[in-house]
Amino acid sequence: MTWRELSDFLNLQRLTMCPRPISEFARIGEKAADTFERLEKGTRESLGKAVRGFATTKVWPALSDEQTVMLYFRLSYGVDLAMALSTCTTNLFPALENRDSEMIHWALNEAWDYPGLLHTLRVFSEKRDAFGNDPKRN
């Protein structure tokens, strides 16, 4: 799988999702960024396990609404990251031949830990005023 193919594949996964707006998970008086962080913390382990399984089987397990919205953010970051890597012409980031599951795991779990999570939280916080709490617009 090339980085471009990974980006396209992850995007197809993202397009099949219909996450609820993150505002629906907010507690009374909770800021959207705080809701995001709480959901990330609460779903991190189980979503990491779901990603590892998906990387092997290409089938998602049943996910809760909280897991779905957080997976949507991981997929969004993974799509953009893989697309950026696909534009590298120096072969600095070679595709892992016949190691698709490792590429998926890396893009959605390992790269999410850093810098994906921090980047998404920052972007989410900056765009919130402009776009509201709709995860498909953030």
Query: What is the pTM (predicted TM-score) of this model?
Result: 0.86
Per-residue confidence band for 117, with pLDDT thresholds at 50, 70 and 90 = confident
Higher pLDDT, 9 or 92: 9
Per-residue confidence band for 81, with pLDDT thresholds at 50, 70 and 90 = very high
Contact 20, 122 (CB under 8 A): no
Contact 107, 6 (CB under 8 A): yes
- Half-sphere exposure in the Cβ direction for 18 (13 Å, CA): 0
> What per-residue confidence (pLDDT) applies to 41?
96
Residue 70: exposure state from Cβ atoms within 10 A (0-12, 13-18, ≥19): buried
Give, in degrees to the nearest 5, the angle at Cα 51 between 46 and 54: 125
Provide mean pLDDT across the span 62-88: 94
pLDDT reading at 34 higher than 80: yes
What share of the chain in percent tops pLDDT 70? Answer: 88
Per-residue confidence band for 78, with pLDDT thresholds at 50, 70 and 90 = very high
pLDDT reading at 28 higher than 70: yes
